[in-house]
Structure 1
Amino acid sequence: MSVGVEARREASVWRRGWSFVRRALLLELRIYASIGRFIARRPAIARGSAGFSYHKPVLTVLVIFIVLSAVEIPIVDLIVHGWPVVRVAFLIVGIWGVTWMFGLLCAYLMRPHTVGPDGIRVRQGLEVDLAFSWDDIASVSRARRVDEPKSPRFEVTDASRTLVYRMQDETDIEIELEKPTVVRLPGGGANGGEQIITGVRIWVDDPQAFMDEVRKHL
């Protein structure tokens, strides 16, 4: 019995390890895919759909991080100039870090929320991409809210379970679903994998334009 339990534990560890590696590889690929889209000026917007950005609240922070990371490379290189191995290692890590941050910025720019004939796609950064058809959606409303820092990802009441994607602790669009719906979220634990939700709150930089587009279809 103990041998079986130990085997299951070992298999579980391997599954978690593989899941982590797979997710890291996918993130890395999406970084370069986002940079490629940015260079080609081809945002991920389906034909007939309209894209709506959500990056403005964090744009300044991301740009500052990118600039500081880029400035840090020659400074560190000057400090460790006398140790070739260390110098090369720091250069690789530094360039990779700048590339990663720039790719994350490109993901915000090139993977907007979309509204189109097929419904609404909710996106955020590199991983989140949730598609809701118009048949799934009961209502869409403009409702600006500011939550406490580090508020839970899910807002749960007796009758609802709302998924919340904030930008700087704010949302301004609320999407109510017709019925409890299963979505697959990135990562594991309580906030990842398959989750049942009844609605979504998101941030859109131009909520009025978003609502105008929604009214064309809903």
Structure 2
Amino acid sequence: MKQDEGALRRLAAHEGRVLRSFGLWLGRRRPQVGPDGRAFGYASPQAATVYGLAFVCVVETVGVSFLVRQWPVVHAVLFVLDLYTVVLVLGLQAAAVTRPHVLTPDALRLRAGARVDLLVPLDLLASIRRELRFQGAGGETPDHVLELAVGSQTSVTMELTRPVTHVPLLGPAREVSVVRFHADEAGELVRALRAAVAP
């Protein structure tokens, strides 16, 4: 029961972050990037899919409104729900844009929209390489590997000297020692990380 309550709280918090991201996106703000941080975006591969899905939702909203126009209460309820769905869909892209990966002098903060926020200290970095991989292409992902795919792809693989704890949106926390993620400027991020950990 407590696990269910915890999952519901995490889902509610996630939805709140998505909605806040929508406002930040409209204001072209990324407040979680500090003065000593360097941002690396990752949202490009999913943009066309998200906008396409939002367009389909808008078309569906218009179609349903036409079909239920003779029932005002049903029309009003479905219209509000459909508009909220469009906002949430766009909010997924907004969360990815306003929450980029951030490299600081001490750590790399990896994100996946409002769903994942993982801080990896740079002193745990064993190796970093640019590596294009497609999700599911190599079979089942081992438990110690975290994949933060965007558009079903990752472009950077990072191996750690010891595990860090990843707390997913749903399910139990787990220890991960390999992280695969996407960055729009993967080569630049790899070079910046190597320079940051160089003696």
Q: Give the TM-score of the pair, scaled to structure 2.
A: 0.89
Judge conservation of contact 1:34–1:103 (CA < 8 Å) in 2. Answer: yes
1:66–1:102 Cα contact (<8 Å) kept? yes
Instruction: Give 1:114-153 correspondences, 5 Å limit.
Output: 114-148=102-136, 152=140
Q: CA RMSD in A?
A: 1.9
Percent of aligned pairs with the same residue? Answer: 25
In structure 2, the residue corresponding to 1:135 is in which secondary structure?
helix
Give the corresponding residue for 2:160.
Answer: 177
Rg larger in 1 or in 2? 1
Q: How many residues align?
A: 196
1:36 maps to which of 23, 43, 48: 23
- Separation in structure 2 between the aligned mates of residue 118 and residue 148 of structure 1, nearest angstrom: 32
More displaced 10-residue stretch of structure 1: 141-150 or 38-47: 141-150
Partner of 1:22: 9
Q: Is the 8 A contact 1:146 1:169 kept in 2?
A: yes
Q: 1:147 to 1:75 in 2, by over 3 A?
A: closer
1:48 and 1:87, CA in 2 relative to 1: closer, same or farther beyond 3 A?
A: same
Moved more, 176-185 or 130-139: 176-185
The structure, 1 or 2, with the larger RCO (C-alpha pairs under 8 Å, 6+ apart) is 2
Are the aligned partners of 1:155 and 1:164 in contact in 2 as well (CA < 8 Å)?
no
**Partner letter of residue 20 of structure 2?**
A
Can you give the 5+ residue segments of structure 2 that lack an aligned partner in the other structure?
A: none
In 1, Cα distance between equivalents of 2:121 and 2:145: 17
Q: For residues 108 and 183 of structure 1, what CA distance do their matches in structure 2 show?
A: 18
The aligned counterpart of 2:88 is 100
Structure 1 unaligned regions, length at least 5? 1-12
The alpha-carbon deviation at position 129 of structure 1 amounts to 0.5
Which residue type is aligned with residue 174 of structure 1? T
Aligned counterparts of 2:29 and 2:116: Cα–Cα separation in 1: 18
**Aligned equivalents of 2:125 and 2:114: distance in 1?**
24
Provide the TM-score with structure 1 as the length reference.
Answer: 0.82
Distance 1:147 1:99 in 2: 27
Deviation track 1:79-110 (CA, whole Å, cap 9, x = no partner) reads 11100111011111101101111111100111
